[in-house]
Structure 1
Amino acid sequence: MAKIRILVADDHTLIRRGIVGLLDSQPDMQVVGEAGAGEETISKALAEAPDVILMDIAMPGINGLEATRTIKRQIPEIQVLILTMHDREDYLFQALRAGASGYVLKGADIQDLLTAVRCVYRGEVYLFPLVAKKLLADYLRRVESGEELASYDGLTNREREVLQLVGQGKTLSQVAETLCISLHTAQTHRDNIMAKLELHNRAELVKYAIKRGLVFLDS
């Protein structure tokens, strides 16, 4: 079985080495590189083309968000999982906008981190529960203040079904199987949803689904 090839980017050596040891101890994971700064992360990502990058936000020089944006622009297939101490909404939104597929806090349990790595590797989106709840709280504040999201009413019933399934973390293949439609049709529905809601990537679709209350969040 092919292992998940991972690049670990964190400017704190002790933390980085601890994460490397944890990941390398998993039978389905292999750390192919380490980086302690944004520029180094970009260079190693382009050289190694890992499956997943575990990315800190606060690093010397180019920060993790800018590094994510640069890497995703050049190799979109690389999945970036943000691992940070910052639970502020602005960091979360910037990370998703930059193209990150997951966001985990450094206070998370080990199993949460391993689950997150495997999720983003499969093309799914992973948001740490506390972070997901912040998204929901942000949505509720917008509703109370009268601020509207992009028009949900403009979606067809089938598009709403696809949006909900994507929001639950399902891949397009799983969406197609669940709805008994072809993969091409599922892709078309996803593209139409993104165009209507002015969203740019899968992570933003998941964020929108959570804000609309289409995804149930575990306590």
Structure 2
Amino acid sequence: MIDIRLMLVDDHNIVRQGFKSILEDKGFDVIAEAADGKEAIDVARKVLPDVIIMDVGMPRMRGIESSRRIKKEFPSVKIIMLTIHTNETYIYESLDAGADGYLVKDTATEDLVEAIMTVVSGKVYISRNFPPDILENYSKLKKAGKKADQFSRLTNREKEILQYIAEGNTSQAIAKELFISKKTVENHRANIMNKLGIHDTASLVMYAVKIGLVDSN
């Protein structure tokens, strides 16, 4: 017996029983089941499994929302989304919800076992159906989203001045262009850096390029 306690969540009993049989044959301990996302939360609270294998699309509450709530309450519980969906958007949404793995339902038994062992070891597992750089792409999207959120904190005037700075203009040149004092420009520059957590002009320019405010050329 493998000392990993599993919970299965799927709205189709035949699917749960099929996976239960496969996993128990492999030596895993399937300690609980649930038929929808809402029930999954209640059952998880009672049995606190090591790993939850969760369907994405279910009645009453989707697996992704259920995963988000379970992860918030029990961060140590590992969750593998098991689904028919091969759209990368579902992977990103699952990872945002805190899922540790994403597996397509027609996967081989060996892949299911590998997914469980991978997430238990603290790593993320993504089905072989997807490109190997999927996690790297997700990371880039998250970073871009964070940068966009920071940018939205700037006032319209600060955004305007950031663009001028990124284009290589001096404070004096910007002041002349906008009919304001050099000191005002420098105050705006300081506010921009403070809001973005950036401390030098070179990094400010790099930031503007990364979010597409100015061209890298």
Instruction: Report the TM-score, using the length of structure 1 for normalisation.
Output: 0.60
Instruction: Report what 1:19 is aligned to.
Output: 19
Q: Secondary structure at the residue paired with 2:11?
A: coil
Matched, 1:64 2:63: yes
Instruction: Report what 1:111 is aligned to.
Output: 110
CA distance in 1 between partners of 2:137 and 2:75 (Å): 28
Task: State the Cα distance separating 1:17 from its structure 2 match.
Answer: 0.4
Instruction: Report what 1:55 is aligned to.
Output: 54
How does 1:123-134 map onto structure 2 within 5 Å? 123-133=122-132
How does 1:71-82 map onto structure 2 within 5 Å? 71-82=70-81
Return 5+ residue gaps in structure 1 as ranges.
143-147, 152-195, 197-219
Q: Secondary structure at the residue paired with 2:91?
A: helix
Instruction: Report what 1:90 is aligned to.
Output: 89
CA distance in 2 between partners of 1:136 and 1:75 (Å): 23
Task: State the Cα distance separating 1:39 from its structure 2 match.
Answer: 1.0
Task: State the Cα distance separating 1:2 from its structure 2 match.
Answer: 6.0
Instruction: Report what 1:43 is aligned to.
Output: 42
Q: Deviations over 1:55-86 (max 9, x none)?
A: 00011111000000000000000000010000
Task: State the Cα distance separating 1:124 from its structure 2 match.
Answer: 1.4
Q: Contact 2:84/2:104 (CA < 8 Å) preserved in 1?
A: yes
Superposition RMSD on alpha carbons, in Å?
2.7
Q: Secondary structure at the residue paired with 1:54?
A: strand
Give structure 1 regions of 4+ aligned residues with deviation exceeding 3 angstroms.
136-139, 148-151
Task: State the Cα distance separating 1:123 from its structure 2 match.
Answer: 1.4
CA distance in 2 between partners of 1:21 and 1:43 (Å): 23
How does 1:54-203 map onto structure 2 within 5 Å? 54-133=53-132, 135=134
Q: Among the aligned pairs, what percent are the same residue?
A: 35
Task: State the Cα distance separating 1:130 from its structure 2 match.
Answer: 1.9
Q: Deviations over 1:99-145 (max 9, x none)?
A: 00000001111110111011111211111122244738968xx9xxx
Distance 1:84 1:47, change over 3 A: same
Q: Secondary structure at the residue paired with 1:116?
A: helix
Task: State the Cα distance separating 1:40 from its structure 2 match.
Answer: 0.8
Q: Contact 1:69/1:98 (CA < 8 Å) preserved in 2?
A: yes
Distance 1:4 1:134, change over 3 A: same
Distance 1:3 1:85, change over 3 A: same
Instruction: Give 1 or 2 for the bigger CA radius of gyration.
Output: 2
Q: Secondary structure at the residue paired with 2:17?
A: helix
CA distance in 1 between partners of 2:53 and 2:102 (Å): 10
Q: Contact 2:36/2:61 (CA < 8 Å) preserved in 1?
A: yes
Query: 128-137 or 87-96, which moves further after superposition?
Result: 128-137
CA distance in 2 between partners of 1:128 and 1:59 (Å): 20
